């Protein structure tokens, strides 16, 4: 894995190689942690996913360990701007997520998606695009989950990596950080620009998950 900075972008390039004698298929995802200025997830937070507008989602944990997404946010299927992609799903939070509450929505896979998203809070946003091709095709999306707690809003686009023996694949996650000081307000009180920028990417912002059988 190589991490570099290019202007407003953080580039995370990764390569996975099959060192074994047999083919394997594995999902890969980054568990993004997003909070702004230490504020709990709630009004002012938003998430836009690059998925077809008719994409459905399931919440199998409701009733056992999770709460419904719709209890805290509005899920809109209008046209949205997700890293230069007009078609998408918009999730806007209208209620604060309480301590101990967990939310997990599992969106259907979209063959046309490359796993892009935009996270936002007043005055700050983080966008991601996954760049990479394998055998001349875009990297397929295996699943697209959204996980939420009081202290994090976490989109989880999952790639499906298929490698023959001695084969490798390289992909890059391109993260763009933006600020707009005109809108750095929580409940009417302006935030210091430095606090907003520092809060754009939570501590522990890379929680990499990889399971490969070789």
pLDDT tens figures, 37-49:
889 999 999 999 9
Asked if 134 contacts 169 with a C-beta cutoff of 8 angstroms, the reply is: yes
β-pair type (137-138, 141-149): unpaired
Q: H-helix or E-strand containing 197? A: helix 193-198
pLDDT tens figures, 109-127:
888 888 889 999 988 889 9
Collect all residues with Cβ–Cβ distance below 8 Å to 185 and sequence separation of at least 6.
122, 123, 191
pTM above 0.85, yes or no: no
In tens digits, what is the pLDDT along the chain, a chain of 214 residues? 999 999 889 999 999 999 999 999 999 888 788 888 889 999 999 999 988 888 899 999 999 999 999 999 999 876 555 555 556 899 999 999 999 999 999 998 888 888 889 999 988 889 998 888 888 888 888 889 999 999 999 999 998 899 999 999 999 999 998 886 555 454 443 443 332 322 233 223 333 322 232 2
């Amino acid at each position: 894995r190589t991490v570099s900075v290019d202007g407003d972008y953080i580039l995370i390039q990764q390569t996975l190689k099959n060192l074994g004698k047999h083919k394997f298929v594995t999902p890969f995802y980054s568990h993004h942690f997003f909070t702004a200025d230490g504020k709990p997830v709630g009004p002012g937070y938003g998430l836009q996913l690059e998925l077809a507008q008719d994409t459905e989602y399931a919440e199998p944990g409701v009733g056992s360990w999770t709460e419904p997404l719709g209890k805290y946010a509005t899920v809109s299927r209008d046209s949205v701007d997700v890293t230069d992609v007009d078609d998408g799903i918009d999730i806007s939070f209208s209620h604060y997520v309480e301590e101990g509450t967990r939310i997990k929505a599992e969106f259907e896979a979209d063959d046309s998606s490359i796993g892009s998203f935009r996270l936002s809070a007043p005055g700050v946003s983080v966008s991601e695009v996954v760049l990479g091709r394998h055998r001349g095709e875009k990297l397929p999306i295996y699943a697209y989950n959204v996980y939420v707690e009081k202290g994090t809003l976490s989109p989880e686009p999952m790639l499906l990596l298929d490698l023959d023996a001695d084969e490798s694949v390289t992909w890059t996650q391109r993260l763009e950080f933006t600020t707009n000081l005109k809108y750095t307000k929580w409940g009417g009180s302006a935030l210091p620009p430095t606090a907003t920028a520092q809060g754009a990417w939570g501590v522990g912002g890379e929680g990499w998950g990889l399971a490969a059988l070789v």
